[in-house]
Amino acid sequence: MAEAIRRQAPLSRWVIYAVLILFAAFYLVPLLVTVLNSVRTEQDIGSTSVVGWPRELALSNFGKAWGTYCIAQRCEGISPFMLNSIMMVVPATIISTLIGALNGYSIALWRFRGDNWVFGIITLGVFLPEQMKLVPWTLVLRDLGLSNTITALVFIHVIQGISFTTLFCRNYYVAIPPDLLKAAKIDGAGYFRIFWRIVLPLSPPILIVTVIWQFTHIWNEFLYGVTFTTGAQQPVTAALIALSVSVAEAPQYGVQSAAVLIAALPTLLVYLFGGKYFLRGLTAGAVK
138 and 241, same domain (yes or no) = yes
Q: Are 109 and 173 in contact (CB under 8 A)?
A: yes
Q: Which of the listed residues 24, 52, 76 is the one where a domain comes to its end?
A: 76
pLDDT of residue 286: 42
250 and 109, same domain (yes or no) = yes
Is residue 64 over pLDDT 60? yes
153 and 85, same domain (yes or no) = yes
- For the stretch 260-288, pLDDT in tens is 899 999 998 888 887 777 777 666 654 44
220 and 91, same domain (yes or no) = yes
- For the stretch 146-204, pLDDT in tens is 889 999 999 999 999 999 999 999 988 888 888 888 888 888 888 888 889 888 888 88
CATH number at residue 199: 1.10.3720.10
In the chain, the number of structural domains is 2
Q: Report phi then psi at 118, rounded to 5.
A: -60, -45
Average confidence (pLDDT) over 30-56: 80
Name the residue range of residue 6's domain: 2-76
144 and 254, same domain (yes or no) = yes
Q: Which of the listed residues 27, 61, 76 is the one where a domain comes to its end?
A: 76
Q: Which of the listed residues 47, 76, 105 is the one where a domain comes to its end?
A: 76
Q: pTM of the predicted model, to two decimals? A: 0.83
64 and 87, same domain (yes or no) = no
163 and 205, same domain (yes or no) = yes
Q: pLDDT confidence of 215, banded at 50, 70, 90?
A: very high
Rg of the chain over Cα atoms, rounded to whole angstroms, equals 24
111 and 147, same domain (yes or no) = yes
For residue 70, count other CB atoms closer than 10 A to its CB: 15
Question: Would you give the distance in Å from CA 82 to the centre of its chain?
Answer: 15
27 and 162, same domain (yes or no) = no
92 and 71, same domain (yes or no) = no
Angle between the N-to-C axes of helices 236-246 and 79-109, in degrees from 0 to 180, rounded to the nearest 10: 150
